[in-house]
């Protein structure tokens, strides 16, 4: 069901409140369980993530000042977020001065309404889109479809996803879960119903697939009167927006249409061009492992005779201000969507992006989604636990987001409840109901650990009965013994051995 | 120099031989070890699952148990990382919640003296050749908290390289998590098992007789998968390798 309660047809089943395009996975473990059984998916993900991972490591190793760049990136983001209200007002003034119009959207519904009204006002029934996370977050394509407006994705991977009636599973490479053969089939079967059909006899050679996409998209670029984009950065001092992409398709959408509408999360603001410089070094090396980004488009309002004549900027909150109120969780807003954390994450590699039930998959999704949406359902409650806390994500993050720290912090909100901010109001949430048994077990364990004599009696009972213990556990214990043997219980605990041999009572 | 052994709850209850190996090893190196009975668990299972408040009594207990020690040595990378990274956080959060400085003080007293075993050997005792003998092929899996939280780096490897008779085999994808992750192993069993079997496949490819780590909790998972697969590879804690001598091998 979409936000207003109407059914939105999608390939993947029921859709998500506030993010209508995304299917409601029951929870992460269940969705991941299905994914781990899919051999083709596992192979595609493993190959792709390991390739990008290795390239990124080489690109980063080239710079001797990477650690300092990373510190600078984190510091600039933190400083900007601390005074975000001030920078946003400066940005609005600069964009307005340069001929743009700024709109403020508190949530997904408001942003969708603004964009839909703006497109309607042009009289157009279709828009071309630059790859954008923010518009996926709000489910813009579905909202436009409800008003009879067709949105065409023009990023190659987003095109594959759209044609396949599929969902993106990666921030940088949304069709990472597809291999060449699958892409060929999607192009052959689906291109005709969206526009120019795929050429006869299309093979799975990358050059042929790219050419098919080029022909298909060219038609849309030349016809479209309205372009819709996000932005990687917004420079407050001049009101300049920046899109960083690799294909040039984004630049087509940013320059050819008469009207350009950009939907951008408020945390994408940087105060000055000097600040931007740091991120234009951090982002390409972290995401595509390139030294310099191929297509970096920048525009400041409108310019006579050059590019779109009308420019609208929709500044999106959608949970960001609430996230900013959380002292530990707010570091997630530093994210520049490079997806380095996805490519090194062992959990993402096995579970795939769809299991995260959001356009933001992987480690960053596990901390961003529950904060932007709130701990609204079993899915969001399960996301902070979708990690072994191995720390690989923190190690590669170009803005030093301590993802494990935030995961544990969010686990606390789930397990113990506590203070959160919802739509600007401080609220105390109760511990999650589903964790009642676990909570009792943790309390019992804590009590035993805080009473070593009782612990010792327990250890002795365990040791004495060790021959009688089952090899496979019933109930929740099956989660261990379904795939692993239990450790053998020793005849004597360490503390009993120490007491017996050293007589220690210290 | 008063050295206390923090054996950890997992080793105390399930792998006492690792604790005994630490005692043997340190005593052989001339270090007198003490085991305060008041110790129990560092609190990691509770903290990492989201029960910070349940962890607090265990922070106090740890600090009190080792109040009079100059060093605390623990054969666990993740428990050492729990003390070093999370005890100060737990203290700071309690302060922020207006509950005084007592937990912060406990953390401040505990953190600087807590050492993971290989850190203590290399950094404090300044030894890499501990006079050990272990005539087997071994592959080393650097556990995540040892690798990334503590930054153990080459310390365990340097110690293993000096063990007589030991042949070290390189492990593919060594720095990838084995899939244990504490309660992660039972909360996300499918992903945990998939990570575990990828790890055991890499271990099998080394042809080593044993897989060694600085953490028995990870080894419990890796060993559990190996055993289920019927693998002959033996999981062994680094302390047990370093404690071995020609005499004990007989």
A329 touches B at CB < 8 Å: no
Residues from chain B that touch A445, judged by Cβ atoms under 8 A, are: 41, 45-46, 54
E strands along chain B, which residues?
A: 3-5, 33-34, 71-74, 114-116, 137-140, 167-169, 210-213, 234-237
Instruction: Locate B142 and state its tokens.
Output: 């650097």
| Residue at A391 is within a domain | yes
**Beta sheet of B210-213, edge-to-edge order:** B167-169, B137-140, B210-213, B234-237
pLDDT of A63-119, one tens digit each? 999 999 999 999 999 999 999 999 999 999 999 999 999 999 999 999 999 999 999
Looking at the fold, whether A300 and A351 belong to one and the same domain comes out as no
Residue that finishes a domain, picked among A316, A349, A378: A316
Distance CA A73, CA A468 (A): 58
Tell if the CB–CB gap between B16 and A479 is shorter than 8 Å: no
Question: Residue A500 burial (CB < 10 Å; 0-12/13-18/19+)?
Answer: exposed
Q: Please give the residue of chain A at the shortest CA–CA distance from B143.
A: A390
Residue that finishes a domain, picked among A204, A224, A244: A224
Looking at the fold, whether A288 and A141 belong to one and the same domain comes out as yes
Tell if the CB–CB gap between B46 and A411 is shorter than 8 Å: no
Tell if the CB–CB gap between A32 and B188 is shorter than 8 Å: yes
| Residue at A445 is within a domain | no
Instruction: Check if the beta carbon of residue A489 is closer than 8 Å to that of residue B6.
Output: no
Tell if the CB–CB gap between A415 and B49 is shorter than 8 Å: yes
Looking at the fold, whether A175 and A238 belong to one and the same domain comes out as no
Instruction: Check if the beta carbon of residue A261 is closer than 8 Å to that of residue A314.
Output: yes
**Structural element, H or E, at residue A23:** strand A19-23
Residue, of A474 and A12, whose pLDDT is higher: A474
A343 touches B at CB < 8 Å: no
Q: What is the pLDDT of residue B91?
A: 98
The overall average pLDDT reported for chain A is: 93
Residue that finishes a domain, picked among A386, A406, A433: A433
By Cβ distance, the residue of B58, B187, B225 closest to A446 is B58
**Which residue out of A387, A446, A490, A497 would a mutagenesis test of the B interface target, given it has the greatest number of B Cβ atoms within 10 Å?**
A446
Work out the average pLDDT over B168-175: 97
By Cβ distance, the residue of A388, A414, A442 closest to B179 is A388
pTM (two decimals): 0.95
Q: What is the pLDDT of residue B146?
A: 96
pLDDT of A219-235, one tens digit each? 999 999 999 999 999 99
Work out the percent of chain B whose per-residue pLDDT is above 90: 98
Looking at the fold, whether A232 and A219 belong to one and the same domain comes out as no
pLDDT of A385-441, one tens digit each? 999 999 999 999 999 999 999 999 999 999 999 999 999 999 999 999 889 999 999
pLDDT of B104-151, one tens digit each? 999 999 999 999 999 999 999 999 999 999 999 999 999 999 999 999
Q: What is the pLDDT of residue A7?
A: 35
Tell if the CB–CB gap between B181 and A479 is shorter than 8 Å: no
CATH architecture classification, B137-249: 3-Layer(aba) Sandwich (3.40)
Q: What is the pLDDT of residue A315?
A: 98
Distance CA A328, CA A325 (A): 9
CATH number at residue A358: 1.10.1060
Q: What is the pLDDT of residue A505?
A: 52
Looking at the fold, whether A247 and A387 belong to one and the same domain comes out as no
Structural domain total, chain A: 4
Looking at the fold, whether A115 and A130 belong to one and the same domain comes out as yes
Work out the average pLDDT over B52-69: 97
pLDDT band at A26 (very low <50, low <70, confident <90, very high): confident
Q: What is the pLDDT of residue A504?
A: 56
A487 touches B at CB < 8 Å: yes
Looking at the fold, whether A304 and A349 belong to one and the same domain comes out as no
Work out the percent of chain B whose per-residue pLDDT is above 70: 100
pLDDT of A103-146, one tens digit each? 999 999 999 999 999 999 999 999 999 999 999 999 999 999 99
Q: Provide DSSP, A431-486.
A: PPGGGHHHHHHHHHHHHHHT-HHHHHHHHHHHHHTTTTS-SS--GGGHHHHTTSPP
Looking at the fold, whether A263 and A251 belong to one and the same domain comes out as yes
By Cβ distance, the residue of A391, A443, A484 closest to B221 is A484
pLDDT band at A24 (very low <50, low <70, confident <90, very high): low
Tell if the CB–CB gap between B227 and A455 is shorter than 8 Å: no
Tell if the CB–CB gap between A506 and B35 is shorter than 8 Å: yes
Looking at the fold, whether A71 and A81 belong to one and the same domain comes out as yes
Work out the percent of chain A whose per-residue pLDDT is above 70: 94
| Residue at A6 is within a domain | no
Work out the average pLDDT over A15-20: 38
Q: What is the pLDDT of residue A434?
A: 87
Looking at the fold, whether A235 and A287 belong to one and the same domain comes out as yes
By Cβ distance, the residue of A388, A416, A480 closest to B52 is A416
Looking at the fold, whether A141 and A164 belong to one and the same domain comes out as no
Given a cut of 80, is residue A381 above it in pLDDT? yes
At residue B116's C-alpha, the angle toward residues B18 and A401, to 5°, is 130
Looking at the fold, whether A205 and A251 belong to one and the same domain comes out as no
Q: Chain A: give the shortest CA distance to residue B192, in Å.
A: 8
Q: What is the pLDDT of residue A197?
A: 97
By Cβ distance, the residue of A33, A416, A480 closest to B51 is A416
SS3 of B212, please? strand
pLDDT band at A271 (very low <50, low <70, confident <90, very high): very high
Work out the average pLDDT over A164-170: 94
Given a cut of 70, is residue A9 above it in pLDDT? no
Q: Chain A: give the shortest CA distance to residue B77, in Å.
A: 12
| Domain limits for position A428 | 327-433
Radius of gyration of chain B, Cα coordinates, nearest whole angstrom: 18
pLDDT of B197-217, one tens digit each? 999 999 999 999 999 999 999
Residues from chain B that touch A442, judged by Cβ atoms under 8 A, are: 45-46, 49, 51, 54
| Residue at A262 is within a domain | yes
Work out the percent of chain A whose per-residue pLDDT is above 90: 90
Pairing label, strands B33-34, B167-169:
unpaired
Question: Shortest CA distance to A25 belongs to which of A386, A322, A346?
Answer: A386
What residue segments make up the domains of chain B, in order of their start? Answer: 3-124, 137-249
Q: Please give the residue of chain A at the shortest CA–CA distance from B57.
A: A450
| Residue at A441 is within a domain | no
Distance CA A189, CA A8 (A): 22
Q: What is the pLDDT of residue A474?
A: 85
The overall average pLDDT reported for chain B is: 97
Q: What is the pLDDT of residue A23?
A: 59
């Amino acid at each position: 069901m979409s936000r207003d309660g109407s059914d939105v047809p999608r390939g993947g089943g029921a859709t998500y409140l506030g993010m209508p395009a995304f299917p409601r996975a029951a929870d992460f473990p269940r969705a991941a369980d299905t994914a781990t059984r899919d051999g083709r998916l596992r192979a595609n993900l493993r190959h792709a993530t390991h390739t990008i991972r290795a390239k990124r490591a080489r690109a980063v190793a080239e710079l001797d000042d990477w650690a300092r760049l990373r510190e600078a990136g984190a510091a600039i983001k933190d400083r900007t977020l601390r005074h975000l209200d001030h920078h946003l007002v400066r940005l609005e003034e600069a964009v307005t001065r340069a001929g743009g119009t700024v709109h403020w959207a508190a949530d997904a519904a408001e942003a969708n309404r603004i964009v839909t009204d703006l497109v309607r006002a042009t009289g157009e029934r279709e828009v071309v889109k630059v790859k954008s996370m923010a518009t996926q977050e709000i489910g813009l394509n579905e909202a436009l479809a409800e008003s009879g407006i067709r949105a065409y994705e023009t990023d190659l991977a987003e095109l594959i996803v759209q044609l396949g009636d599929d969902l993106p599973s990666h921030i940088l490479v949304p069709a990472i879960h597809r291999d060449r053969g699958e892409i060929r089939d999607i192009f052959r079967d689906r291109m005709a119903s969206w526009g120019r059909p795929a050429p006869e006899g299309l093979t799975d050679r990358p050059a042929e697939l790219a050419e098919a996409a080029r022909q298909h998209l060219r038609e849309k670029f030349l016809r479209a009167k309205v372009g819709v984009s996000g932005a990687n950065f917004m420079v407050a001092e001049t009101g300049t927006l920046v899109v960083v992409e690799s294909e040039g398709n984004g630049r087509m959408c940013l320059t050819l249409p008469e009207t350009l509408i950009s939907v951008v999360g408020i945390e994408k603001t940087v105060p000055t061009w000097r600040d931007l410089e740091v991120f234009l070094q951090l982002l390409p090396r972290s995401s595509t492992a390139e030294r310099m980004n191929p297509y970096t488009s920048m525009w400041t309002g409108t310019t006579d005779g050059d590019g779109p004549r009308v420019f609208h900027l929709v500044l999106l909150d959608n949970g960001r201000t609430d996230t900013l109120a959380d002292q530990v969780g707010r570091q997630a807003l530093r994210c520049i969507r490079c997806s380095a954390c996805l490519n090194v994450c062992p959990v993402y590699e096995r579970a795939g992006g769809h299991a995260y039930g959001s356009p933001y998959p992987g480690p960053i999704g596990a901390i961003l989604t529950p904060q932007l949406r709130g701990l609204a359902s079993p899915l969001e409650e399960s996301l902070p636990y979708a990690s072994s806390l191995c720390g690989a994500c923190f190690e590669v993050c170009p803005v030093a987001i301590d993802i494990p720290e935030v995961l544990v912090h969010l686990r606390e909100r789930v397990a113990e409840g506590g203070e959160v901010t919802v739509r600007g109001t401080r609220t105390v949430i109760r511990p999650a109901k589903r964790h009642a048994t676990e909570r009792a077990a943790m309390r019992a364990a804590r009590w035993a650990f805080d009473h070593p004599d009782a612990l010792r009696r327990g250890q002795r009972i365990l040791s004495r009965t060790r021959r009688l213990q089952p090899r496979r556990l019933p109930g929740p214990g099956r989660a261990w013994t379904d795939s692993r043997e239990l450790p053998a219980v020793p005849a004597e605990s360490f503390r009993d051995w120490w007491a017996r041999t050293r007589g220690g009572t210290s | 120099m008063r050295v206390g052994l923090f054996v950890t709850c997992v080793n105390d209850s399930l792998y006492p031989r690792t604790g005994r190996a630490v005692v043997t090893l340190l005593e052989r190196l001339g270090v007198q070890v003490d085991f305060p009975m008041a110790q129990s668990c560092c609190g990691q299972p509770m903290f990492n699952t989201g029960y910070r408040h349940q962890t607090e009594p265990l922070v106090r207990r740890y600090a009190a148990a080792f109040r009079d020690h100059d060093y605390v040595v623990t054969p666990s990378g993740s428990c050492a990382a729990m003390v070093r990274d999370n005890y100060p956080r737990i203290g700071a959060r309690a302060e922020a919640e207006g509950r005084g400085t007592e937990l912060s003080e406990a953390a401040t007293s505990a953190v600087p003296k807590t050492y993971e075993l290989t850190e203590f050997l290399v950094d404090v005792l300044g030894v890499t050749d501990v006079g050990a003998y272990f005539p087997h092929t071994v592959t080393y899996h650097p556990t995540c908290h040892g690798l990334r939280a503590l930054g153990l780096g080459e310390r365990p490897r340097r110690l293993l390289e000096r063990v007589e008779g030991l042949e070290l085999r390189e492990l593919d994808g060594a720095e990838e998590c084995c899939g244990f992750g504490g309660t992660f192993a039972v909360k996300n069993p499918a992903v945990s098992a998939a990570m575990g079997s990828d790890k055991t496949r890499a271990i099998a490819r080394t042809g080593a007789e044993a897989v060694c780590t600085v953490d028995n909790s990870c080894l419990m998972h890796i060993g559990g998968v190996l055993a289920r697969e019927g693998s002959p590879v033996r999981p062994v804690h680094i302390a047990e390798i370093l404690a071995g001598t020609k005499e004990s091998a007989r």
